[in-house]
Amino acid sequence: MFGTTLALLGALLASATALAQPPERFDIAITVDDLPAHGPLPSGMTRADIAASHVALFKARGVPEAFGFVNANRLEQEPDSAAALATWRSAGHPLGNHAYSHLSLDAAPTLAAWQADVAAGEAAVAARMTGQDWRWFRYPYLSTGTDPVRRGAALAWLTAQGYRLAGVSVSFDDWAYTDAYTHCLARNDSAAIGAMKKQYLDEVDDGIARMKAASRQLFGRVIPQVLLTHVGAWSAATLPDVLERLEAAGARYVTLASAQADAAYAQAAGGDVVENEARRRGIALPRPPARRLDPATVCRQGSAD
């Protein structure tokens, strides 16, 4: 009886020790798309507020660099949003080009039209990055070109322009919630916002687990990660929880150049490094579970709209 109790105690202690083991560390770079203005702006908020909450969070969590990718047309649509870029730069975070109007390489009528959109995005970035390397490009929609001829020509042209290409390895689709969040704030529907946050953070937990599993399956290790997030009101509200979850999973923040120095990014050419590798090898990665709440419809129905 006593021996059994001791054995049970030993087993319990062993499992407690296993639980207390810190998670395997991995590097992660933070990249933020659609500066200075992603998605609709909730009333009472400014673009500079959203940027300021991001950079305050990065400072508090010891993020050494958050690379921001700019759609310069937003500066003309919302002139006040220039303050968001000033906030970003005064915190020391770099800016790169995300094409002037977020034109997809696949959707562009011609390659020349797409090149013109990329070129039109340069001046606003260069002016804010004097003396620093701003020639980093993030493909809008991560669309690197499904047509092989256009894909190769765009890549060759970007390389000739001196661009380095920002890859991605993980994203939690924060962009999908930005519109619904604005509608829910307008209705003051805190119950709906709470339900969306619960769902989203469950998706983040699942996404981190799938991120590690896919990396181990494809590369035999957890590669340095590049997180893609967006500078919207939803991200401002949820990124503190997202970073907390990443840190609990073993994340250590690094620069984009540091993450992409890893061999896993050698062939990435600016797209999703994990999906590209899986496609190349014919491996079907597990998909996220179906959503309980559809952010495309939340806070849209009823008379309050």
In angstroms, what is the minimal distance from the CB of 119 to Zn ion?
Answer: 18
Amino acid code (one letter) for 91? A
212 vs 230, beta carbon nearer Zn ion: 230
The rounded distance, in Å, linking the Cα atoms of 105 and 304 is 39
**With helix as H, strand as E and coil as C, how does the chain read?**
CHHHHHHHHHHHHHHHHHHHCCCCCEEEEEEEEEECCCCCCCCCCCHHHHHHHHHHHHHHCCCCCEEEEECCHHHHHCHHHHHHHHHHHHCCCCEEECCCCCCCCCCCCCHHHHHHHHHHCHHHHHHHCCCCCCCEECCHHHCCCCCHHHHHHHHHHHHHCCCEECCECEECCCHHHHHHHHHHHHHCCHHHHHHHHHHHHHHHHHHHHHHHHHHHHHHCCCCCEEEEEECCHHHHHHHHHHHHHHHHCCEEEECHHHHHCCHHHCCCCCCEHHHHHHHHCCCCCCCCCCCCCCCCCCCCCCCCC
Instruction: Write out the residues near Zn ion by the rule CB under 5 A.
Output: 33-34
Q: Which is nearer to Zn ion, 33 or 262 (CB)?
A: 33
Q: Tell me how far, at minimum, the Cβ of 88 lies from Zn ion, in Å.
A: 15
Min CB(71)–Zn ion separation in Å: 7
Nearer to Zn ion, 215 or 235 (CB): 235
Structure-token pair, residue 61? 């969590």
Q: Which is nearer to Zn ion, 30 or 218 (CB)?
A: 30
Minimum CB distance to Zn ion smaller for 33 or for 65: 33
Tell me how far, at minimum, the Cβ of 139 lies from Zn ion, in Å. 9
Nearest residue to the partner Zn ion, using Cβ: 33
- Give Cα 7 distance to the centre of its chain: 47
Structure tokens at 16: 């407690």
Q: 33 or 122: whose CB is closer to Zn ion?
A: 33
Q: Which of residues 72 and 222 has its CB atom nearest to Zn ion in the complex?
A: 72
Shortest CB 286 distance to Zn ion, Å: 25
What's the min distance (Å) between Cβ of 141 and Zn ion?
7
- Residue pair 174/233 in contact by the 8 Å Cβ criterion: no
| Least spacing, CB of residue 249 vs Zn ion, in Å | 25
Least gap, CB of 101 to Zn ion (angstroms)? 11
Nearer to Zn ion, 26 or 139 (CB): 139
